[in-house]
Structure 1
């Protein structure tokens, strides 16, 4: 599929009354796009998780000084309910508002999701300025299947709840992507090994930075590494999915007896074949044909 593309930022941005989700670097400052730079430099206010951290980022990018630049508004899980009405009111008054996370694409495992939903509910325009994302960066560089994956973010911090969630994910065949804080990484790796077994795994940290590290290639190997080298910085884990179930074993005599028992119980041949197919995983047609073969 071919699309017309331009290296220049979109004209007229930022527009009044628009909520912009802006992807910021996850490590390397050079990853900020020209369009993101234009939007962040022109909005009226920037909602961010940590004003000091985001203020430093914008200062490093030359987008904010002591007296110039967008107003920074703290917007995090602890003040989300109180801050939402203020940001929505600003948008309705015609302000251009940007949302950024501490690093990466906002709206994933942060309060940006709630603001987008509230803005959409009011019919306010929401535009995403794409940028770096730890999820996809870690995924595509992991060497694990990327065609189908499942993002779980942060698992519950309490051990019992975390293991319960892992048990629910035990049969998931897609590649799993998780976030974890460094002080809980060892506990998570131990639970992964105990609940899901020694699967393929890549633990990515310091992505796009000078000391980028991807540790694996299995849960056991990563656990041994971090037991000797304490992790630093938030980690993104890319975990191999559950192995595909083995095909059901075809045992004609046993299957025929089960079919005959179902028929003796009052089912028709077709219904018996359908019932056993659902239970065994075998083809309904093959089972129906088996029922009428001579033993």
Structure 2
């Protein structure tokens, strides 16, 4: 019997010209942070802290060497046990299958089916935070939605044009999802963090339906598009968070660690990194 069991998918596809040359041969998620960490450590730590035993990671072709060098056998995140496993998939393989008219979501569907999990967590790579996925699961179950997405209230000058923003009513319900506009300053916005939790069976069905009609092969974008058609709830993250999409935001994120409150919020909460 499955009880509150989750599996995880990490999407590492974001490429930003304004981060070059730092990400020329590596994904954003393996950039150094605070001297001793990689950005990827925070997603993997959230997964380990939630006792998630299976992780599926999607990367762009040609960017995985730094990933293997850093993760190794996965011991630091308890991914080297008999029951604990991680899998790495190249996004370009899915694009090739899609171009050839094949089932381009086959690998991720196969992973989801074999995980035997009730829920699937998806996390993007450019958001740095220390989120409690167990709390997210609890809220998701209490709300009774098919999918829940995490958002954070931040200044509008800390978003990129690729970001998705939410209009939220006074009761915390989603009214509308809109594309961000770069250059707006002086106001607070509700940033979609690209952290989703969804019933695994529903995700499998949606992926099969999607690939049958030629939906996007980008799973993160696919989930974004599901927001408008699924019964979707919101979860507001209130801890430290940084949105990294250019050199300036990456630099400021590291400089934030000189602030004792931000440093403590990120690194010394009850969620171990």
Taking structure 1 as the reference length, what is the TM-score of the superposition? Answer: 0.29
Higher strand share: 2
Q: Which protein shows a greater Rg?
A: 1
Bigger relative contact order, structure 1 or 2 (CA pairs below 8 A, ≥6 apart):
2
Taking structure 2 as the reference length, what is the TM-score of the superposition? Answer: 0.31
